[in-house]
Chain A
Amino acid sequence: MNRLTRTAQRWVVFVVAVGLWELLTQLARTAEAPKSFFFPPPSEIAVTAVDLWISPAFGEHIVPGVGRMLAGWALAGVIGIALGILLGRSRGAMAYLGALFNFLRSIPPPLLVPFFVAAVGTTNMQFPTIVFGAIWPVLLNTVDGARGVDATKVETARVFRLSRTQWTLGVVLPSALPKIFAGLRLSLSIALILMVISELIGSANGIGNQLVRAQRDYEPTAMWAWIVLLGVLGYLFNTLLLVLERRALAWQPRHSLEAQALATGG
C-alpha cells in the first residue's frame, strides 16, 4: 500500500500534465483548423512513436544512436575513473593539471562538434565528441573523491601494510564511489545531449538524424515522437543507473531504511 501510494505520488503530476496537454490540443481544434499542425495531441504522438519504434527505424537509427551514446559514455567512464584515481592520489598532479582541466571542462561540449567534424569527418565524429564531452564530470568527481580519503584510513592502510592493489581498489575506489556515481550521472545526460546534437549536425543515421529529417519533411508528429523518445531514453538510463548505484552503494547508511530509522532515533 505504501509502495503503491509512492508510485501514485510520483506519477500523478506527470499524468495530469499529459492529460492537460491532450485536452488543450483537442480544444484548439476549430472548424477551420481541424488539426493543430505544430502541436499534435499526445495521443497522436504516441501512435506515431510506437509506429516508428517498431519500424525498421529501430535497427537503423535508434540502436546505432543509443549504441554510440552508451559506448562513448562507458569509455569516458573508464578513462575518467582510472585517470581520476591516479591523479587524485598523486601529490602534485592536480596542482599542475587543475587549471587545464577546468578550462577544458568549461568549453560547452557541443561546440566541439565542428572541430571533430573537421578533424575526423562527419561520419566518425559522434563517438569522440561524446567521449570528450562526457569525460569531465566523471574525471573531476573521481579526483575529488579519491582526494577525500580521510587521514585515519590512510594511516590504517599504512599500518596494515596494504598492497597497492588493495589500497587502490579496496580503499580509494570505494571511498570515491559516491562521488564517482554523481559524476557518471552528469556524464550520462551529457552523453545523451551530445549524441543527439552530433547526429543533428551530421550523421548517416541516429535519432538526431531522424529528428532533422522529420523537420525537413514537415512531419511535426514524427518530430515530437523522436523528442519523446529522447525523454524516455534519458529517464530510462538515469533510472537504471540509479538502481546500479543503489546496489553498489548499498553499504552506505543513507541507502537503507534501517539507517534512516537509526538516524531518527526510531
Chain B
Amino acid sequence: MNMLEVDGLGHTYKGKDGLHTAIDGLNFTVGAGELVCVVGPSGCGKSTLLRTIAGLIRPSRGTVSLHGNRVDGVPPDLAVVFQDYSRSLFPWLSVTRNVEFPLRSLSRTEREQRAAEALAAVGLAGAGRKYPWQLSGGMQQRVAIARALAYRPSLLLMDEPFASVDAQTRFELEDLLLRIRREQDTTVLLVTHDIDESVYLGDRVLVLSKSPATVVADLDVPLGPVRDQITTRAGEEFVELRAKVAGLLQGGPVTVR
C-alpha cells in the first residue's frame, strides 16, 4: 500500500526578480514502512518538496496524498524532524515537556507514558528533566526525534536531520534511525544532500536534478534492514550505488534500470 503519493508536484515562487520554479513535475510514491531518501544538489528544491508534502506550502501544481487523502494543510498524522534542532526544540521546556508538548489531546498519564517510551527509544531515558541546552547537539536531535516518535505519525519527514552534527555523532544517529524504524515500522522520507547517507539509510533513493528539481532516478537499495557503518559502507553494492548516485547528481550518463 502506498503511504505517500506525489503526483505531478510543482512549485513556483514569486520573488523580487520574477518567478522561480523550485520543483517541477515530481512523481513518486512511498510505501508503508519504507525508508526513502531524497538526495539532490544543494539548492535544488529539496526543502520545498518536503514542505509541500508536510502541507506547510501549498504547491502551485500537482497533488500530495497521504494514505489516500489529499494533503491540504498539515495532516494530523505527520511529523517533521528539522535540521536545526536548537531552534526546533523549545528551550524553555525540559526534555520531557518538549516531547509531551504536541500531545495535548491525550490524558496526562498517556502523555507521560509516550514521552518516556520515546525518550527510551532514542537512548535518553535519564535526561527528561534536563533542558535542551544542557545536552550536546546530537542529543538534542535525539530529543527532536523522540518528540516526532511520541506523536506516532503515519509519515515521518526528516529535513537534513544529521547535517548539523559531527561525523561521529552522525553515524550514531543514522544507526539509531535504522534501529527505530526496524522496531517501530515507521514510514520515513528523509531529505539529504549526503550521497553516502542516502544509500546507507534508504530502502530506496530518489535522485533529484538541479533546480527545478525533477526525479532523475528511483533506485532500490538491496542492502537489507540491518546495516553496519563499517562493513556495509565497504561492501561492493554500497560502493557501486554510491558511485551511481554521484554520477546521476553530476548529470552524468543516466543508466537507470
Q: Which residues of A pack against B, CB within 8 Å?
A: 150, 152-153, 155-156, 158-163, 166, 170-171, 174, 177, 251-253, 258-259, 262
Contact = CB atoms under 8 A, between A and B. Distances in A.
Interface of B: 51, 54, 56, 74, 76, 78-80, 82, 84, 87-88, 90-93, 101-102, 104, 131, 133-134, 151
Contacts of B88: 152-153, 156
Contacts of B54: 159
Contacts of B133: 253, 259, 262
Contact of B78 (A159, A162, A251): A159
**Chief secondary structure at chain B's binding surface:** loop
Nearest to A174: B92
Contacts of B80: 155-156, 159
Given A159-B80, A160-B79, A161-B74, A166 B101 contact: yes
Contacts of A163: 104
23 contacts: A150-B87, A152-B88, A153-B87, A153-B88, A153-B90, A155-B51, A155-B56, A155-B80, A156-B80, A158-B74, A159-B56, A160-B101, A160-B102, A161-B74, A161-B76, A163-B104, A170-B90, A170-B101, A177-B92, A251-B91, A252-B91, A259-B134, A262-B134
Contacts of A253: 91, 133
A258 B134 contact: yes
Residue from A161, A163, A258 having most chain B Cβ neighbours under 10 A: A161
Nearest to A253: B133
Contacts of A166: 101, 104
Nearest to A165: B104
Contact of A152 (B76, B87, B102, B131): B87
A176 to B, nearest CB: 11
Nearest to B75: A161
A173 to B, nearest CB: 9
Contacts of B78: 159
Contacts of B92: 174, 177, 251-252
Nearest to A170: B101
A156 B82 contact: yes
Given A159-B79, A259-B134, 4 more contacts: A159-B56, A174-B90, A253-B91, A262-B134
A150 B84 CA distance: 11
Contacts of B151: 160
A251 B102 contact: no
A171 B87 contact: no
B102 A162 contact: yes
Nearest to B86: A152
A158 B101 contact: no
B74 A251 contact: no
A251 B131 contact: yes
A155 B101 CA distance: 15
A62 B56 CA distance: 56
Contacts of B74: 158-159, 161
Residue from A153, A155, A159, A162 having most chain B Cβ neighbours under 10 A: A159
Contacts of A150: 87
A174 B74 CA distance: 24
A171 B90 contact: yes
